[in-house]
């Protein structure tokens, strides 16, 4: 086999292959031998990595006759895509952790795997060591998945957890996450939701057997989450989490009938919800299926060792398939359900307003909700004197109608400030 990339994850893959060589050989039935490792800088010291295996000729490595499995941990779109396609064209199976590529152009990779009879496994692309994709791909393939809801980015979960439990500001929490190695020097992919959106696309495609790319996912990050948002959540006995949400949309809600909604954004969930207790940089995902009911997957969602564990799990599965002459499952997107625009997705809002404390203000605010066909679930008013605070929690409505309502509230004379706007993802908030 060949390894493409030898950074944090690749180095851990090499370590585990060497330390567990005997056990892996017993599990597969034949030894797993590393033929070469493609890197850009072979002169760089990599502890525990045999220098004689390093090469800069990735193209030559993936087409070698003595290689039958290619492990890709380079990341990014190119040259990873070209190398994986070349490997499959020459009859080799591929194990990858590349969420960005799978979310952008997974269809091309899946088509190549089908055409050339190669295995394509990618458990490590979502939620690190947590066994999540294989249950969706294999264990639940006979069921009807309704919803996938979860925390799939450890960096943002750590930041929001620090804001909630220690009262830290966003920038302070981000700096701490960087110091601990949870966040990159440039944290944009994490804090702006790009990483979670890529994972949501992969989850939705597997769960609903329909083509979904990262461009289909509505994405909002956590950079705008304020102390007022976190405090408002506490007052509602809730917590703010960045959630990846993939769900089937009933025909009555879809523009063209039944479809799917795939979105990533910060939202309130009650502290009684199991996801509320997911602390620091951990991940957790709920899967709701028709027959299996609710399933929860929890664990370390990132890091070299956890991701390498998932890579090796796929490697053993692929090696067993090759030895037995039986290909693994192929991706099918027979459903081809439409992805619902965010504006047509039904959501709930928590809205905190600073208003003038005089009669008629509540009626004026309620009238704006009614004009946009948004039903109010609960209202709480506090304060005295010239100013008051008004908290409104809505029932589910089209997200576009809720957004339009908020924009109209900002224009009202008696509304001093829209202090907090947060989506709500549980009906008991």
Element (H, E) at 87: helix 80-89
Tokens coding 147: 């919803």
Residues annotated as part of the active site: 199
Sheet architecture: strand order including 54-55: 54-55, 36-38, 2-4, 69-72, 93-96, 120-121
Handedness of CA 232, 237, 240, 245 (dihedral sign): negative
Is the pLDDT at 426 greater than 80? The verdict is no
At 267 the pLDDT is 97
The strand pairing partners of 96, in sequence order, are 72
Question: Up-side HSE of residue 42: CA atoms within 13 Å toward CB?
Answer: 12
Q: What is the DSSP letter of 339?
A: B
Q: Which of 125, 120, 123, 291 is nearest to 196 (CA)?
A: 125
Q: Show the beta-strand stretches assigned E in 332-414.
A: 346-356, 376-382, 387-394, 397-398
pLDDT at 385: 72
Q: Quick check: 14 pLDDT over 70?
A: yes
pLDDT at position 208: 96
pLDDT, tens digit (0-9, with 9 covering 90-100), for 166-185: 999 999 999 999 998 888 99
What is the three-class DSSP state of 426?
coil
Of 347, 362, 428, whose CA–CA distance to 392 is shortest?
Answer: 362
Residue in 343, 162, 326, 146 with CA at minimum distance from that of residue 247: 146
pLDDT bracket for residue 383 (50, 70, 90): confident
Average pLDDT, the chain: 94
Give residues with Cβ within 8 angstroms of 263, minimum separation 6: 200, 217, 218, 219, 244, 245, 342, 345
Q: What six digits make up the tokens of 1?
A: 């086999």
| Contact call for residues 18 and 35 (beta carbons, < 8 A) | no
pLDDT given for residue 329 in this prediction: 86
Q: Are 287 and 299 in contact (CB under 8 A)?
A: no
Average pLDDT over residues 1-17: 96
SS3 347: strand
The CA-atom distances, in angstroms, between 78 and each of 72, 104, 226, 268, 357 are 12, 12, 37, 37, 59
228: left (phi over 0), alpha (psi -120 to 50) or beta: alpha
Res 239: pLDDT: 97
pLDDT at 301 (0 to 100): 82
| Inter-CA distances, 5 with 2, 29, 116, 195, 312, Å | 10, 26, 24, 20, 15
Residue 133 and residue 313 in contact, taking contact as beta carbons nearer than 8 Å: no
pLDDT tens, residue by residue, 93-144 = 999 999 999 999 999 999 999 999 999 999 999 998 899 999 999 999 999 9
Q: In which residue are the tokens 């909002």 written?
A: 220
pLDDT band, residue 392 (cuts 50/70/90): very high
- Are residues 5 and 53 in contact, defined by beta-carbon separation less than 8 angstroms? no
Mean pLDDT is lowest, of 2-11, 42-51, 209-218, for 42-51
Place of tokens 């700096």: 175
Share of the chain above pLDDT 90, in %: 88
Inter-residue contact 241 to 267 (CB < 8 Å): yes
Confidence of residue 254 (pLDDT cuts 50, 70, 90): low
pLDDT band at 417 (very low <50, low <70, confident <90, very high): very high
Phi and psi dihedrals of 307, rounded to 5?
-65, -40
Using the structure block, give the residue that is written with the tokens 């944090």: 8
Q: Which two tokens stand for residue 296?
A: 């929860």
CA distance 412 to 374: 17
66 with 95: CB under 8 angstroms?
A: no
């Amino acid at each position: 086999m060949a390894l493409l990339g030898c950074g944090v994850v690749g180095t851990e893959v090499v370590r585990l292959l060497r330390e567990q060589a005997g056990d892996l050989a017993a599990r597969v039935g034949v030894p797993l031998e590393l033929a070469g490792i493609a890197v850009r800088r072979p002169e760089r010291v990599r502890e525990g990595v045999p220098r004689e295996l390093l090469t800069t000729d990735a193209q030559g490595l993936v087409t070698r006759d003595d290689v039958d499995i290619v492990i890709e941990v380079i990341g990014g779109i190119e040259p990873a895509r070209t190398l994986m396609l070349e490997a499959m064209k020459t009859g080799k199976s591929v194990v990858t952790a590349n969420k960005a590529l799978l979310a952008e152009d997974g269809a091309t990779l899946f088509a190549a795997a089908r055409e050339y009879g190669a295995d394509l496994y990618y458990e490590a692309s979502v939620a690190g060591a947590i066994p999540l994709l294989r249950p969706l791909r294999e264990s639940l393939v006979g069921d009807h998945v309704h919803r996938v809801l979860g925390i799939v980015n450890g960096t943002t979960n750590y930041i929001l957890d620090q804001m909630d439990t220690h009262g830290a500001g966003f920038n302070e929490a981000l700096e701490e996450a960087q110091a601990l190695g949870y966040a990159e020097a440039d944290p944009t992919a994490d804090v702006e939701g790009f990483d979670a959106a890529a994972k949501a696309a992969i989850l939705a495609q597997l769960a609903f057997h329909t083509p979904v790319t990262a461009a289909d996912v509505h994405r909002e990050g956590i950079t705008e989450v304020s102390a007022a948002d976190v405090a408002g959540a506490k007052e509602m006995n809730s917590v703010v989490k960045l959630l990846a949400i993939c769900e089937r949309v009933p025909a009555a809600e879809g523009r063209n009938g039944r479809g799917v909604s795939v979105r990533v954004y910060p939202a309130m969930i009650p502290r009684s919800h199991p996801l509320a207790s997911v602390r620091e940089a951990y991940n957790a995902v709920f899967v709701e299926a028709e027959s299996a009911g609710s399933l929860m997957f929890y664990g370390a969602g990132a890091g070299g060792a956890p991701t390498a564990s998932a890579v090796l799990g796929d490697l053993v599965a692929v090696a067993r398939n090759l030895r037995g002459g039986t290909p693994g499952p192929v991706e099918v997107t027979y459903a081809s359900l439409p992805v619902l625009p965010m504006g047509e997705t039904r959501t709930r809002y928590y809205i905190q307003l600073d208003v003038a404390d005089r009669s008629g203000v509540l009626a004026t605010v309620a009238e704006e909700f009614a004009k946009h066909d948004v039903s109010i679930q609960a209202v709480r008013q506090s304060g005295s004197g010239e100013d008051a605070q008004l908290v409104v929690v809505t029932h589910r409505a089209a997200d576009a109608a809720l957004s339009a309502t908020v924009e109209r509230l900002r224009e009202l004379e008696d509304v001093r400030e829209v202090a907090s706007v947060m989506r709500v993802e549980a009906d008991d908030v």
